[in-house]
Amino acid sequence: MRVITGAARGRRLLTLEGEDVRPTTDRVKEAVFSIIQFETEGRAFLDLFAGSGQMGIEALSRGAKEAVFVDSAKKSVEIIRKNLQSTNLFSAASVFQLDWQSFLAMNTKRFDIAFLDPPYGKGILQDALQMLPDHMKETGMIITENPLNEEILSNFADFVLDRQYRYGKIRISTYRHKDFIS
């Protein structure tokens, strides 16, 4: 797994091993950053179920002003910190070892872009999407990654489904504030 482009282009990233780990594939990562290519620079990015931190690191590499990484697993947080050090992007990052609910309960920031790729089949995505709009700027975008067989609602507060993309067995969905749908 590598950083695709930007300041840290080509840098190899560490990832966790094991059955519970499911890193976003390079193909899906490229697709996500194609979708938001003109919306990343200078923005605040939330990687809510960060894993190795590759999505937030890619955003920082492409010019995001800051990235917040949240993961409940100690090993994930250690990997994120190592990856931020090796890419020289640590100064623009905040890393939290918290479950997503605790983070959102204490967070006062508003984000421009949020990426959610929680464990599949546990209903976590629906719950997180219910809470996340309060932490988004009106002009912001929420991006989700989930399996095709996991249905999610199309409205969360004032955020509504904008577009969906299919990559094999994976669905990428984007949500925007209802007043900013194009």
Give the domain CATH number at 1. 3.40.50.150
Is 158 contained in some domain? Answer: no
pTM across the whole model: 0.94
Domain count, the chain: 1
Is 170 contained in some domain? Answer: no
Task: Give residue-wise pLDDT tens across range 45-89.
Answer: 999 999 999 999 999 999 999 999 999 999 999 999 999 999 999
Q: Which of 155, 161, 118, 109 is nearest to 136 (CA)?
A: 109
Is 167 contained in some domain? Answer: no
Asked whether the predicted pLDDT for residue 4 surpasses 70, the reply is yes
pLDDT range class, residue 18, cuts 50, 70, 90 = low
Is 118 contained in some domain? Answer: no
Altogether, the residues listed in the chain come to a count of: 182
Is 150 contained in some domain? Answer: no
Q: Which of 7, 4, 128, 19 is nearest to 55 (CA)?
A: 4
Is 25 contained in some domain? Answer: no
| Interatomic CA distance for residues 155 and 68, integer angstroms | 24
